[in-house]
């Protein structure tokens, strides 16, 4: 597991990019996909995930579609066009951040 402080501020970026890559997804599915892609190093907690999804929806960046699977609710999230733009922006910001950090710390990531 990564020290949780480093993850701070990356949650929105992760959610937006995962949705951009995968189309519509529901909350639990997002946690599992991130867990899988990160080899269990990033475990999104529900207490962080759901409030963030709700906020992004309230801000018009995500749209939802609720589906009943048997008696269980599934709430699918997908990017609005505005959200798609933000996803790209956030990823670019993150890349820029990494570049700055590698310079400051004098490290190699390759």
How distant, in Å, are the alpha carbons of 57, 100, 103 from that of 15? 12, 23, 27
Residue 52 contacts DNA per CB under 7 A: yes
For DNA, the closer CB: 70 or 110: 70
Shortest distance in whole angstroms from residue 96 CB to a second copy: 7
Whose tokens are 């400051």? That residue is 104
Nearest C-alpha neighbor of 49 from the set 35, 67, 66, 60:
35
d(C-alpha 76, C-alpha 85), whole Å: 19
d(CA 1, CA 65): 32
Of 46-54, 66-74, 76-84, 91-99, the segment contacting a second copy by CB under 8 A is 91-99
3 state DSSP class of 10: coil
15 binds, among DNA, a second copy, none (CB under 5 to 8 A by kind): none
- Is 47 a residue that touches DNA (CB under 7 A)? yes
Of the candidate residues 73, 92, 98, 101, the single one contacting DNA (CB under 7 A): 73
Q: Which of 97, 80, 85 is nearest to 9 (CA)?
A: 97
Of the candidate residues 16, 20, 61, 69, the single one contacting DNA (CB under 7 A): 69
> Quick check: 61 binds a second copy (CB under 8 A)?
no
**Among positions 40, 46, 59, 65, the unique one binding DNA when judged by CB under 7 A:** 46
């Amino acid at each position: 597991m990564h020290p949780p402080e480093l993850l701070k501020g990356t949650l929105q970026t992760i959610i937006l990019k995962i949705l951009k890559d995968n189309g519509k997804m529901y909350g639990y599915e997002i946690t599992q996909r991130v867990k899988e892609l990160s080899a269990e190093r990033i475990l999104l907690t529900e207490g962080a995930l759901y409030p963030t999804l709700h906020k992004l929806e309230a801000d018009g960046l995500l749209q939802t579609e609720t589906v009943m699977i048997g008696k269980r609710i599934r709430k699918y999230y997908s990017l609005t066009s505005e959200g798609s733009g933000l996803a790209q922006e956030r990823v670019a910001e993150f890349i820029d951040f990494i570049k700055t950090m590698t310079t400051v710390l004098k490290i190699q990531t390759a």
